Structure 1
Amino acid sequence: MVRNTLILAKFELKKLLFNPRGLISLFAFSLVWLLLLLYPIRTASSFLLTEEFKQLISGIFGENSINELFQWKVAEIAIFWIAALYLFPLFSIFVTADQFASDKHRGSFRFLTLRTSRDSIFFGRFIGHMLIQSLLLTLTILATIILAISRDITLLLPAVTSGTLVFINLFIILLPYTAMMAILSLYANTARQATIYAILFWAVSAVMIAIVHSQFASLAQWLQWILPGAQISMMINTQGFGSFVYAPIPLLQAGFLLFLGRQYIQRSSL
Structure 2
Amino acid sequence: MNQATELHSSTVRQISLIATTEVRRLLSQTKGLVTLAAYVMLWLLILLFLVRDAVNLMLHPDAKDIVMQVLGEGAMSNLFNWPVEEFAMYWVFALGLQPMFAILLGAGQFADDIQRGTFRFLSLHASRIALFFGRFLGAMAVMALLSGATSLVTMVMAMVRDIHLALPAVICGLQVWLVILLMLLPYVALMSLLSVIASSSKQAVLYSVLFFTGLSLLVWLADVTVAPLAYLEYVMPGTETQQLMGVMPTQAPIFLKVALIQTVAFLALGFYAFKRSDV
Contact 1:122 1:265 in 2 (8 A): yes
> Aligned match of 1:234 in 237, 240, 243?
243
Residue matched to 1:131? 141
Contact residue 225 and residue 231 of structure 1 kept, 8 A: no
Is the alpha carbon distance of 1:65 and 1:125 closer, same or farther for their aligned partners in structure 2, counting shifts above 3 Å? closer
Instruction: Give the match for residue 51 of structure 2.
Output: 41
Map residues 99-248 of structure 1 onto 2, 5 A cutoff: 99-217=109-227, 219-248=228-257
Cα distance, 1:203 vs structure 2: 0.4
How far 1:42 sits from its partner (Å)? 0.6
CA positional deviation for 1:152: 0.5
1:198-218: CA deviation from partner (whole Å, max 9, x where unpaired): 00111011111112232344x
Q: Which runs of 4+ in 1 moved over 6 A?
A: none
Residue 90 (str. 1) matches residue 100 (str. 2): yes
Other structure's SS at 1:215 match: coil
Structure 1, 53-62 or 137-146: larger mean CA deviation: 53-62
Q: TM-score, normalised by structure 1?
A: 0.95
Residue identity opposite 1:121 in structure 2 = L
State the secondary structure of the residue aligned to 2:182: helix
In the alignment, what sits opposite 2:269?
A: 260
Map Cα deviations across residues 80-113 of structure 1 (whole Å, 9 max, x no partner).
0000001000111111110011101211111111
Q: Which runs of 5+ in 2 are unaligned?
A: 1-10
Under a length normalisation based on structure 2, what TM-score does the superposition of the two structures give? 0.92
**Counterparts in 2 of 1:201 and 1:168: CA distance versus 1, 3 Å:** same
SS of 1:73's partner is: coil
Question: Over aligned residue pairs, what C-alpha RMSD do you find?
Answer: 1.5
Provide the rounded CA distance (Å) in 2 between the counterparts of 1:229 and 1:73.
25
Distance, in Å, in 1 between the alignment partners of 2:161 and 2:116 is: 50
In 1, Cα distance between equivalents of 2:164 and 2:56: 16
Tell me the residue number matched to 2:5: none
Deviations along 1:46-91, whole A, 9 cap, x unmatched?
Answer: 1112232212221222134533211001111000000000100011
* Cα deviations by residue, 1:176-199 (Å, 9 ceiling, x for unpaired): 000101111111111111101100
2:84 is matched with 74
Partner of 1:50, secondary structure, is coil
The residue type equivalent to 2:142 in the other structure is I
Matched with 2:12 is 2
Cα distance in 1 for partners of 2:217, 2:31 equals: 36
Cα offset for 1:19? 4.7
Summarize the Cα distance change of 1:95–1:118 in structure 2 as closer, same or farther, 3 Å threshold: same
Structure 1 counterpart of 2:54, one-letter code: A
How many Å separate the matches in 2 of 1:94 and 1:22? 9
Task: Quote the offset at 1:223 in angstroms.
Answer: 2.4
8 Å CA contact 1:46, 1:75 repeated in 2? no
In structure 1, distance between residues paired with 2:180 and 2:74: 24
Amino acid at match of 2:36: L
Number of residue-to-residue matches in the alignment: 269
